[in-house]
Amino acid sequence: MKPKEQTEENFTRLNFFHSREFLPTLISYIERKTMQKKTMLSSLATALPIILVASVVSATSASMSNAAEAGMGPGPKKKAASFPKGGLVDYTKQPYTPKAYASAAKVKDGDQDCSYHKTSMKDYSGQKITVLAPPPPNMGEPMEQHGAMFTKLTGGKVIIQHVPIGDLYPKQQTAFQTGVSPWDVVVNFSNWIGDFQQYYFDIPAKYSSGTGEMASMLPMYKGIYSWNGKTKLFGIDADRHFLKYRTDVIEDPAAAAFYKEKTGKTLGVPKTWADYNLMAKTFNGYKPKNQPAGTPFAGSVEITKRDDLMSTAFINRVAPYAKNPNVKTGFWFDKNMVPQVNNPGFVRGLEEFVESAKYWPQGGGNFGLSDEITSFGRGDGLFSYTWDDAWSQANQSDSPIKGNVKAAPNPGAEKVWNSVTKKWDTPAGGVNYAPYIAWGWSSAIPAASKNKQMALDFLCFFANKANHAIDLTIGRTGVNPSRSEDFTLDFWVKGLGWSAPATQSWIDTMNNYTQAKNRVFDLRVPGNGQFMGAIADGVALALAGQKTPQAALDEVAEKWVEILNTIGKDKVKAAYQNVIKLENS
């Protein structure tokens, strides 16, 4: 029997067992209380449907909860609150490395069910959950931070098992295929949902509606965390890639004169990737007027490490060349499921990625996400273009380039490949833009977990209003804006002292992406890890100079055909329709 079938059968047996056990218990209880009506009771008990009996039991005996039936675990006991209502949330007063948060925001606790105050009324003493997470800082650190505080508030133990980012996918894949899970919470990439959704517990609707912690999350992200109408991922992050640039270069008259002299062009925010590369080349080695002392200046800070998200940088580079707004059959495959990863649009994007290697900072050829965040945040380069984290790092109160950074949509392209006509198109308006709504960190509760209620309470505490607001201000956490309240000036400018013009540039960029009609989303299909692994292999070969961009991507396309045949073309195609809907929405 397959693991999934075993799991389903176990749940069926569990529910049947409890139904058989509850019925005589109910009858015995009512008979003792109403002996004079025994005859009436027997008739009633015979006639009542099982579903009605179950509901009466639930009302009669709180200890026999549906949560326990479903393998939710014993849940918490109630206790007196240890955190004051509306109290100040200050990470420097918490158990996990308090000195590391001297520059972090301090906010008042909220009043939702997962606030500090209400979480401190839950007693999980003697219980524990295990969390699979990447290493600190990116997402691994906030898991440790909030796990330690959850333990302090509730008495329940949160064990964090750290593994390298590149091991998160295969470890989950191996465990889930056995039908068991050593973890109660897994940190994952949201684009793996096509591979693992059948192994994930459905997150109850109350967490994303009403006063739930995820209720104000933008609809686009709620859609990303769902599969066939069911919420499978607990949204602790949300992402898109955008341009971060140094204003003490792009908006500086002296730098503009220098650029004009060197290129004959007018300096401004790059409209195309060709513009981006030219500016990176021209200002590589330049000294901006507000450059931190002793910090060399490079043209571009990018993610380039094969096993640490380099493929996402490649997607940004490719998107405007290969995502044609007039082609509605998909970015990754054509209507016949022929891979498009080696078409001229993809090749052109990779060519420019390879070219940019000349303008990276020292060591930049082996930068993972955390390296990119740190490098741009300390002033190493003119541009960065992936997640929000580098933006937050550059705007922290202790950043040496605070006040010298703005945001903009990622560059576009002056031509875009048409996979139907097999020709280059000239876009309306002269530039084709295709924002990459990149996967974000997410979390899930394995269906095989025996401690789902504690896992839910922990994730909900992790994502509560106070923690979410503070984590947004710490670039290294990996937590990025996702909720409607995140895109207002008040918190950032009044609360944190960020520059109003810079913050407005970022908000405008986020709104631009939300309203964009030509977007690229991740390949949320079965086999995602294999497909993206093949891309990473090919791009790494091209960046290393071992293959030309065309040869490298031809090899990727061949591997994709093999993956399709192994998984099943029809299976991948069915899931791919959801990606196309997101792209064209």
The residue whose two tokens read 């060519």 is: 351
Residues 163 and 18 in one domain: no
How much is the pLDDT for 70?
62
240: confidence class by pLDDT, cuts 50, 70, 90:
confident
- Beta bridge partners, 333, equal 339
**Is the pLDDT assigned to residue 29 strictly greater than 60?**
no
In a domain, 146, yes or no: yes
In degrees, to the nearest 5, what angle opens at C-alpha 375 toward C-alphas 371 and 379? 170
Average pLDDT, the chain: 87
- pLDDT, tens digit, 9 for 90 and up, residues 526-562: 998 899 999 999 999 999 999 999 999 999 999 999 9
How much is the pLDDT for 49?
37
How much is the pLDDT for 489?
87
Residues 446 and 428 in one domain: no
The residue whose two tokens read 């109350």 is: 206
In a domain, 73, yes or no: no
- pLDDT, tens digit, 9 for 90 and up, residues 432-461: 999 998 877 899 999 999 999 999 999 999
In degrees, to the nearest 5, what angle opens at C-alpha 287 toward C-alphas 283 and 293? 140
Task: Identify the top-confidence range among 41-50, 279-288, 493-502.
Answer: 279-288
The residue whose two tokens read 């997402």 is: 139
Residues 544 and 464 in one domain: no
Q: What is the percent of the chain where pLDDT is above 90? A: 68
How much is the pLDDT for 545?
96
Q: Please give the structure tokens belonging to residue 15.
A: 């529910």
In a domain, 75, yes or no: no
Residues 266 and 398 in one domain: yes
> Which residues 6+ apart lie within 8 Å of 358 measured at CB?
281, 284
How much is the pLDDT for 223?
82
First to last CA, the chain: 40
**Is the pLDDT assigned to residue 17 strictly greater than 50?**
no
Residues 166 and 122 in one domain: yes
Mean pLDDT of 329-338: 96
Distance in angstroms (rounded) separating the CA atoms of residues 166 and 309 = 9
In degrees, to the nearest 5, what angle opens at C-alpha 541 toward C-alphas 539 and 547? 110
How much is the pLDDT for 13?
32
In a domain, 74, yes or no: no
Residues 411 and 299 in one domain: yes
Residues 454 and 413 in one domain: no
In a domain, 433, yes or no: yes
Distance in angstroms (rounded) separating the CA atoms of residues 533 and 496 = 39
- Specify the CATH number for the domain of residue 455: 3.40.190.10
Which run of H or E residues covers position 117? helix 116-119
Tell me the C-alpha to C-alpha distance, in Å, between residue 214 and each of 128, 388, 456, 481: 24, 19, 13, 12
Q: What is the DSSP string of 180-211?
A: --S-SEEEEEGGGHHHHGGGBPPPPGGGSSTT
**Is the pLDDT assigned to residue 396 strictly greater than 90?**
no
In a domain, 87, yes or no: yes
**Are 17 and 77 a contacting pair, CB within 8 Å?**
no
Dihedral sign, CA of 313, 317, 320, 322?
negative
- pLDDT, tens digit, 9 for 90 and up, residues 129-168: 999 999 999 899 999 999 999 999 999 999 999 999 889 9
Containing domain of residue 462, as a range? Answer: 80-233+441-479
